[in-house]
Structure 1
């Protein structure tokens, strides 16, 4: 490589380094392997929750009363000559002792498992002869399908709770830390009142107030939302302390000197800094 090629390569590298990148891309590049692995797992869980009708094998409410408390069924790889029937198969199980609920596999029969069939990732020809990958519950419902469908509620509840707490805490804390004075005093006293509320007795009061005709999922979401609205106080106090130290920085003073409004300074300078 001559001198001209080396100079062009250095200039190209400098141009690539100077190219603007988004905050998410920059944080992903600077994150450790543990953070990347955790974020990838979390994204996978949310994908499974969002596409649960596809990943679940059966209807989670369907009850196969002939197979309650069935253990997980073994999975076998088909011979290459039988790949036209299905790549995988299992042996159907039947209850041997209804009292003890013991099951035995019928090795004389083959139950084919079809991939990408009937709108599912994998399933069998009929729900009456299912493949219980994780077994069944006491009513004969597929545990794997119920876990996949249940993740929709669990993942959404966590996301909603964090979004409400994070949004209220960072907004109120930044407002209190930047304005100060009477506003800061009133907000902090109110946050101390909310932090002193006992969660257990508050949940008991919520259980008495929520209408009994609501579904379980709606009740769960309402309780999480209400608890998130009252759990922002501790987070707001942390943000308030950080905002108090940021409001004297030179770029905040410069924005104030240029005539920027309080809301613009809080949203464009204080909140991104904290």
Structure 2
């Protein structure tokens, strides 16, 4: 007969009050999720990248060197300039100071194509918080200061080059970030509101309500997404302004994107509606809405947050594809898809490869959202805490 283990003395086997294990035991769920998320290095770096994108969205007029309507017909498809801290090739010898080299242009007499080269003798002074074109920050505060730009607003300073219309690609990219990212974020929020409400009602009540919602979901999912987007976008009046088109495109994308989440929420509600805490809430006299959205929905809110971050890239790609095909946003509105329309022409792209920079931004933002979504999904896993 094996000997019985000695009884634990008082306090034995209990971690010290200030130990890491004890702190972790007492920590709330949100802190556990944050600690787990910080261990996902790619997700953390991506979160900082997305935080920078949010700053650009909020302050795009200040961040852009020029206004989104700025055009310089003398420099069409001009190449990017290199930002320099000192100069040794100028006429005055060695000089300190932030600047870029100006352009010299030459036109081919046969093809009429204009080629540009850097001209060290034409020094363009660059500064931070410089005075430039006037704008209204947040649509309320009159300002004329820009984060970076030429000290003389008439000088050519195009760090990312120019477009076929002579627009500064960097400024256009900053404004396009606000439009494309906001379409993705607002569209996903609308889709999630619709998906959560219909999925919750379907899973909670069941019966003919569940059958009606599921048949509607199957009908929408049976139609391929791209033809459905194109068909709905093609039905928009051609004379519609950019603001109205922006909201309609956002609504169209939301109306197509809610079905997947609705099915996930329905499955969760079907599994939870027989749980004891749901029965207790009903016996306590809570209304159906309170039971669904105050008791059942918060029990898997971490999963919804992770799904939200993973859905935004798809919405951004959808807007980019529609605008690139000419069925979404159109000039004078600026988005990544509108910018990539020039890059779809090989005759233009062969001489101006920098026009693909908006495509690189799309890739970076989509990857960042995916990494953040993966990090949130892993951090919110209850079996890891």
Alignment TM class, shorter chain as reference: 0.7 to 0.9
- 1:5 equivalent in structure 2: none
Question: How far did 1:210 drift?
Answer: 2.2
Q: 1:30 aligned to 28, 36, 44, which one? A: 36
More strand by share: 2
Alignment of 1:220-231 (within 5 A): 220-231=246-257
Indicate the larger mover: 52-61 or 85-94: 85-94
Q: 1:121 to 1:144 in 2, by over 3 A?
A: same
Matched, 1:120 2:146: yes
Q: 1:159 to 1:74 in 2, by over 3 A?
A: same
Matched, 1:104 2:112: no
Question: How far did 1:265 drift?
Answer: 0.8
Aligned partners of 2:242 and 2:96: how far apart in 1?
39
Query: TM-score if structure 1 supplies the norm length?
Result: 0.84
Alignment of 1:1-274 (within 5 A): 10-11=16-17, 23=30, 25-31=31-37, 32-78=40-86, 87-97=97-107, 99-118=112-131, 119-274=145-300
Show structure 1 runs of 5+ residues with no match: 1-9
Aligned partners of 1:220 and 1:193: how far apart in 2?
26
Aligned partners of 1:75 and 1:131: how far apart in 2?
9
Indicate conservation of the 8 Å contact 1:67/1:94, yes or no.
Answer: no
SS in 2 for 1:67: coil
Question: How far did 1:126 drift?
Answer: 3.0
Query: Of the two structures, which has the highest relative contact order with CA contacts closer than 8 Å and spacing of 6 or more?
Result: 2
Aligned partners of 2:287 and 2:225: how far apart in 1?
38
What CA deviation, in whole Å up to 9, does each residue of 1:115-169 have, x standing for no partner? 1112111111334312110101112110000000111110100001110111111
Indicate conservation of the 8 Å contact 2:126/2:150, yes or no.
Answer: yes
Q: 1:248 to 1:89 in 2, by over 3 A?
A: same
- 1:6 equivalent in structure 2: none
Question: How far did 1:18 drift?
Answer: 7.5
Aligned partners of 2:225 and 2:23: how far apart in 1?
52
Aligned partners of 2:261 and 2:24: how far apart in 1?
36
Question: How far did 1:222 drift?
Answer: 0.8
Show structure 2 runs of 5+ residues with no match: 1-15, 132-144, 301-385
RMSD: 2.7
Question: How far did 1:100 drift?
Answer: 2.9
Aligned partners of 1:92 and 1:116: how far apart in 2?
21
Query: TM-score if structure 2 supplies the norm length?
Result: 0.61
